[in-house]
Amino acid sequence: MPVHAPAPYPAARLRRLRRTPALRDLVAENRLSAADLIWPVFIREGARVEEPIASMPGVVRLSVDRLLSKATEAVELGITTICLFPYTDPALRTETCDEAWNPDNITNRAIRALKAELPGLSVMTDIALDPYNANGHDGFVVDGEIVNDETVAALVKMALAQAESGADILGPSDMMDGRIGAMRSALEAAGQRDVAILSYAAKFASGFYGPFRDAVGASGRLVGDKKTYQINPANRDEALRCVARDLDEGADMVMIKPGMPYLDICSTVKDRFGVPTFAYQVSGEYAMLQAAAQNGWLDGEAVMLESLLAFKRAGCDGILTYFAPEAARCLRD
């Protein structure tokens, strides 16, 4: 992008265009809107349940009935997409993870309920075994190792069950090798040609996922860490290779995760590949901002909107954020 060198002062006074709100608005290079936001929601069994998550102030686990009413509000606020994450009943968490592709698991029932009630809302899912796994990992564990190819076969079954339930966007978050290609060809073979894949292509082994693991009930169960499958935070080239590979295998959109500490990756991915690019402002980023706001150390609304706008400036087309309804409300008012 050519940047014209400014004329010397005083011919150029860059403050001229910052003088009034109208001038600032006129020359704003990026804008945030509710349509840019994907709202991640935690769901669980029951009726009339709104269960707070201690490490994510303001976020709750919802039963499907409550999900429907909150999703209706989200649609009214202009949010286009909701992403579902299940808190699975502990009795259904096993080493074989069969609940993950059960057509009647909580996620698949929630997809069907949402599509019946709010057909215009896009429903995105998560594909990984951790909410169903006895040991909290995204893949099967055999003799302490997270096995790749056996896991991919299971993820394909999950993808098919979610597509059959009516999901619009599948979100593989597991970081196994070869999963996008395997899912894409299984979906084609099953006649599911139009379901989109938003690959968690550049997902780093991050400390910022802690509160999410509390929310899905995986924290206490996780044995070890996820460093043999998620990307080392030191690595930029590797992240770009993951993006290229997932696009080649049939991903429609890609995601970088976490968000704020990885804006360099977002910017490079958008510049280099020119594809729909998303960032996930993850649970730990949300928790940090909320905690500081609750203590009066930061202006919560200002940092929420500033952090989301930063993703747009970095080149993202949209952001997964737990702030989605609150941000949409602020943008409307």
Residue 87: closest CA among 181, 207, 218, 201: 218
Amino acid at site 70:
K
Closer Cβ to ligand PBG, 74 or 204, answer by number: 204
Q: How far is the CB of 140 from ligand PBG (least distance, A)?
A: 14
* CB half-sphere exposure, 264, CA atoms < 13 A: 7
Q: How far is the CB of 51 from ligand PBG (least distance, A)?
A: 17
Q: Looking at 226, 257, 270, 312, which residue is catalytic?
A: 257
Torsion over CA: 332, 266, 38, 251 (sign): positive
Q: Would residue 70 show up in a list of annotated catalytic residues for this protein?
A: no
Position 213 contacts ligand PBG (CB under 6 A): yes
Q: Looking at 70, 157, 203, 226, which residue is catalytic?
A: 203
Q: How far is the CB of 31 from ligand PBG (least distance, A)?
A: 25
Helices marked H in the chain:
21-26, 64-76, 106-117, 148-165, 179-189, 210-215, 237-248, 263-273, 283-294, 300-313, 324-332
Place of tokens 């930029």: 236
Q: How far is the CB of 234 from ligand PBG (least distance, A)?
A: 18
Q: Would residue 157 show up in a list of annotated catalytic residues for this protein?
A: no
Only one of the segments 5-13, 145-153, 188-196, 206-214 lies at the binding site for ligand PBG (rule: CB under 6 A); that segment is 206-214
Position 128 contacts ligand PBG (CB under 6 A): yes
Position 126 contacts ligand PBG (CB under 6 A): yes
Q: Residue 280 is inside which H or E element, if any?
A: strand 277-281
Only one of the segments 64-72, 205-213, 289-297, 306-314 lies at the binding site for ligand PBG (rule: CB under 6 A); that segment is 205-213
3-state helix, strand, coil in the chain (%, to 5): 45, 15, 40
How far, CA to CA in Å, does 246 sit from each of 129, 230, 250? Answer: 19, 14, 6
Closer Cβ to ligand PBG, 151 or 173, answer by number: 173
Site string for ligand PBG, 164-193 (x = CB under 6 A): ---------xx-------------------
Buried b (16+ CB within 10 A) or exposed e, 158-170: bbbbbbbbbbbbb
Only one of the segments 19-27, 124-132, 266-274, 293-301 lies at the binding site for ligand PBG (rule: CB under 6 A); that segment is 124-132
- Provide the binding-site residues for ligand PBG, judged by CB under 6 A: 126, 128, 130, 138, 173-174, 209, 212-213, 226, 282-283
Which residues are catalytic, by number? Answer: 203, 257
